[in-house]
């Protein structure tokens, strides 16, 4: 004979004991007490032996989503259209990369990216009029698919103004910092950059005409004056056979903030190679993601770097310089 228990069956042994005269007076039968005790004991034993299956991943995801976090999204432009891809949450602890299970990503898509959801676009450090998502990632047929990728980062189909690279979820924009500067003062700063700062970083005056210059004035709160970001781009591509000592910077990014005696460099990023050092960067904007009163500066990769459309670097102001603070170096494919 097979005396093994079938699955989820539990043997329970209940000790019988004499009933008091009070129980007999109340009409409580032995059978009733034994049955009730048996059921309670069996349930307790089964609960210990076979605890209920809990989806721990979804439990964590749902807890995070229940707090309705503010998301930071990157704008990705391609032949398929414009997409807003969430890369991090914004909060008092700063930026935190998103990490969900498959079920959590789909819930985030429904809660924050589906059609009609509000997103705030930023140009530089200015919050523009909120836009609405046209559709989410899994709203009907999958919006985007990547070859060889089982689960890509979700994205919302959006239409944003030119010059917008960053968005946040919700209707309330992040706090803005004043960034007014007169044309005369800005020109004085740029003249000093052209004649003194850029040459000391490797861009000689004789070669200055070869570079394409772009200027952004943003409010960061680092100092009472706005922050100025100047980028010099050399469109000429030199062959790898050129020696390092003969090379000039392919790209030079200068960040300037006002000190006691006027504007001075607070961050310098120089690339002296086409590909051997690092890809060129482009300025994305300035946002106060942690709410400490000072905005961070955000940079992405310039050009069509394979699988680099989401790579993001942020810098925070410390002392009188900008230091690396946070980096998002993942591709669009989660797994």
pLDDT digit string (tens) for 259-275? 998 999 999 998 765 54
The CA distances from residue 29 to 19, 20, 39, in Å, are 9, 11, 16
How would DSSP label each residue in 285-313? EEE-SS-SSSPEEEEEE-S--TT-TT-EE
Task: Give residue 4's pLDDT.
Answer: 47
Model pTM above 0.75: yes
Task: Give residue 85's pLDDT.
Answer: 98
For the cut 90, the answer to whether the pLDDT of residue 33 exceeds it is no
Cα-trace Rg, the chain: 31
Taking Cα atoms as reference points, which of 232, 215, 233 lies closest to residue 179? 215
| Mean pLDDT across the chain | 85
Confidence band for 6, pLDDT divided at 50, 70 and 90: very low
For the cut 50, the answer to whether the pLDDT of residue 49 exceeds it is yes
Task: Give residue 10's pLDDT.
Answer: 45
Q: Give the whole-angstrom CA distance, residue 58 versus residue 63.
A: 8
Q: CA dihedral in degrees (285, 291, 292, 298; nearest 10)?
A: -20
Burial class (CB in 10 A: 0-12, 13-18, 19+), 92: exposed
* Interior angle at CA 79, CA 312 and CA 306, nearest 5: 40
How many residues appear in the chain?
335
Q: Taking the chain, what is the end-to-end CA distance rounded to the nearest angstrom?
A: 51
Q: Give the whole-angstrom CA distance, residue 299 versus residue 284.
A: 5
What mean pLDDT do residues 212-241 have? 88
What is the tens place of the pLDDT at every residue in 174-226? Answer: 989 989 999 999 999 999 999 999 988 888 888 888 899 999 999 999 999 99
3-state secondary structure 25-56: HCCCCHHHHHHHHHHHHHHHHHHHHCCCCCCH
DSSP-derived secondary structure letter, 124: B
Taking Cα atoms as reference points, which of 192, 186, 174 lies closest to residue 285? 174
Tokens of 11: 């043997």
Q: Facing residues of 79 across strands?
A: none
What mean pLDDT do residues 126-134 have? 96
Confidence band for 45, pLDDT divided at 50, 70 and 90: confident
Tokens of 87: 């890369």
Domain ranges of the chain: 1-53, 68-169, 183-328
How would DSSP label each residue in 310-331? T-EEEEEEETTEEEEEEEE---
Give the rounded percent of residues in the chain with a pLDDT score beyond 90.
59
Q: CA dihedral in degrees (281, 85, 327, 173; nearest 10)?
A: 90
């Amino acid at each position: 004979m097979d005396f093994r228990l079938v699955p989820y069956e539990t043997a329970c042994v209940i000790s019988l004991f004499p009933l008091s005269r009070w129980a007999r007076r109340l009409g409580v039968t032995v059978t009733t007490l034994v049955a009730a005790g048996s059921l309670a004991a069996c349930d307790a034993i089964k609960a210990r032996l076979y605890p209920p299956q809990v989806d721990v991943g979804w439990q964590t995801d749902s807890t995070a989503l229940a707090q309705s976090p503010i998301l930071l999204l990157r704008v990705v432009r391609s032949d398929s259209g414009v997409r807003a891809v969430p890369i991090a949450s914004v909060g008092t602890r700063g930026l935190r990369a998103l990490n969900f299970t498959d079920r959590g990503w789909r819930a985030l898509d429904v809660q924050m990216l589906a059609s009609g959801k509000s997103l705030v676009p930023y140009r530089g450090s200015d919050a523009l009029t909120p836009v609405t998502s046209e559709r989410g990632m899994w709203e009907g047929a999958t919006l985007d698919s990547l070859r060889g990728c089982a689960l890509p980062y979700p994205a919302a189909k959006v239409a944003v103004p030119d010059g917008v690279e960053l968005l946040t979820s919700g209707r309330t924009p992040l706090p803005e910092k004043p960034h007014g500067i007169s044309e005369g003062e800005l020109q004085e700063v740029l003249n000093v950059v052209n004649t003194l700062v850029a040459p000391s970083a490797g861009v000689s005056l004789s070669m200055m005409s070869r570079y394409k210059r772009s200027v952004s004035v943003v409010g960061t709160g680092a100092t009472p004056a706005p922050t100025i970001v100047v980028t010099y781009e050399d469109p000429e591509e030199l062959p790898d056979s050129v020696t390092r000592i003969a090379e000039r910077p392919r790209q030079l990014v200068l960040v300037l903030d006002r000190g006691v005696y006027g504007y001075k460099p607070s961050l310098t990023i120089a690339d002296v190679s086409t590909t051997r050092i690092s890809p060129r960067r482009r300025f994305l904007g300035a946002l106060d993601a942690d709410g400490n009163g000072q905005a961070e500066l955000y940079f992405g990769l310039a050009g069509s770097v394979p699988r680099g459309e989401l790579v993001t670097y942020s810098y925070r102001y410390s002392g009188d310089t900008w230091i690396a603070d946070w980096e998002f170096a993942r591709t669009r494919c989660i797994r």
